[in-house]
Amino acid sequence: MQQTINILLTGDFAPINRVEELCLKGDFQSVFNDFIDVFQNNDLNVVDLECPLTHATTTRPKTGPYQKAHPDTIGALDYAKISLAAMANNHIMDYDNQGVEDTLELCKQNGIATVGIGSSKEEAAQPFSLELKGKKIAILNYADNEFLTTPDGSYSCSPINPVNCHYDIARAKKRHDFVLVIVHAGNEFYHLPSPRTKKLYRYLADQGADAIISHHTHVFSGYEVYNEKPIFYGLGNFVYDWPGKTNSDWNRGYVVRLNISDKIDFEIVPLKQGNKKPGVFKLTDNEKSIFDADIQGLNNIIDNDEQLEGEFQKYCQSVYPMYDAFIEPYYGRYVAALQKRGWMPKLLSRQKRLFHLNLSRCESHRDVLLRLLKKYE
């Protein structure tokens, strides 16, 4: 009789703020609460480790917030029997080489394997490989190209690149029965994949990936089964305590348990986290009914290419003012607010915006532009 392999995968785990305080007290039970049962009796528990665990104070040049947690928060991973940390994400490099080195050493000391990161691009692209119940399984981990290397190149996360992914998956498929792909990507605070993302993830499945699991957007998305291969477009946050974020989309998510035999089935376990009480909890029956309806609505949109395109166009319209402000010569909260209200003129001419379009859209120009801008990291 075929034995089933159970692999649990979570979204973003950042043990900061109130969760960090609980960890430093050794109160890991109050981090996981009734959700700890979900981690029991699995063959492998996998988490996206969204920040370095370090005392380092030197940050790297980047945009966006910096995240780190006390090294002792590693105890939370041990408490939940997590044995693999996916580390290809946009925060693991926040505290430069020292932050990465501290985190990798902590994981090694605590028997936690890592994937999606390495001291070279080749090492970062290597799959985590294991054999369970007579089946060989490979796990690959990628992220959107967003500050994925230390400035001196000592460490690198594995960027999502369709050409490289094709070769990585093909190599892994030759030596394994199943290939799982974890991706940290997407448009933050948007509940759906872009049409490009849907096409990309289906492409990965066509190349041989047996399941694709995505996170990063801080809100959960839907899923589909494409040619018998499940694709999860966004798990949402797992444990990510953030001041001012309560009872919002930030605070809802889910984990996925893959049940692998001759094929892959799955279970979804919804969650709430970081509300009045810190930590992660199961949903009540009423909350679960709401979640089920919400995710079914997302699935219906994902299934309809025309509707998916329409929703993405609406999202783009909503963020155009922010992106418009990004490309202006002078940028700041007050400048953006004045321009949004029409009280300050746009400083880029139409011709200059066409130059930006051409530099960004044309692959050959973009190759040079990226190398130029990388000099300022």
Q: How many CB atoms sit inside 10 A of residue 305's CB?
A: 12
CA 57 to chain centre: 24
Residue 27 CA to residue 21 CA, distance in Å, equals 9
Query: Exposed, middle or buried, 227 (CB in 10 Å: 0-12/13-18/19+)?
Result: exposed
pLDDT tens column, 177-224: 999 999 999 999 999 999 999 999 999 999 999 999 999 999 999 999
Same domain, 299 and 317: no
Q: Of 42-56, 117-131, 341-355, where does mean pLDDT reach its minimum?
A: 341-355
Same domain, 122 and 215: yes
Predicted local distance difference test score (pLDDT) of residue 337? 76
Among 264, 283, 303, which residue terminates a domain? 303
Residue 151 is given by DSSP the state: T
Q: What is the pLDDT averaged over residues 103-111?
A: 98
Predicted local distance difference test score (pLDDT) of residue 51? 97
Same domain, 324 and 189: no
What is the enclosing helix (H) or strand (E) of 176?
none
Same domain, 238 and 104: yes
Q: What is the pLDDT averaged over residues 266-290?
A: 98
CATH (domain of 47)? 3.60.21.10
Q: Is the pLDDT of residue 331 over 80?
A: no
What is the enclosing helix (H) or strand (E) of 287?
helix 285-302
Predicted local distance difference test score (pLDDT) of residue 348? 84
Bigger pLDDT: 342 vs 7: 7
Q: At 1, is the pLDDT very low, low, confident or very high (cuts 50, 70, 90)?
A: low
Contact 256, 270 (CB under 8 A): no
Same domain, 88 and 52: yes
Same domain, 104 and 223: yes
Q: At 141, is the pLDDT very low, low, confident or very high (cuts 50, 70, 90)?
A: very high
Same domain, 288 and 329: no
Same domain, 87 and 115: yes
pLDDT tens column, 145-156: 999 999 999 999
Same domain, 356 and 231: no
Same domain, 290 and 313: no
Mean pLDDT computed over every residue of the chain: 95
Q: At 346, is the pLDDT very low, low, confident or very high (cuts 50, 70, 90)?
A: confident
Residue 87 CA to residue 24 CA, distance in Å, equals 22
Among 285, 303, 321, which residue terminates a domain? 303
Predicted local distance difference test score (pLDDT) of residue 333? 73
pLDDT tens column, 232-270: 999 999 999 999 999 999 999 999 999 999 999 999 999
Output the CA torsion sign for 159, 163, 166, 172: negative
Same domain, 293 and 312: no
Residue 155 CA to residue 153 CA, distance in Å, equals 5
Token pair of 350 as six digits:
């139409």
Q: Is the pLDDT of residue 82 over 90?
A: yes
Same domain, 246 and 365: no
Among 273, 303, 333, which residue terminates a domain? 303
Q: Domain of 255?
A: 5-303
> DSSP 3-state assignment of 229?
strand
- Please count the structural domains in the chain: 2
Percent of the chain with pLDDT over 90: 84
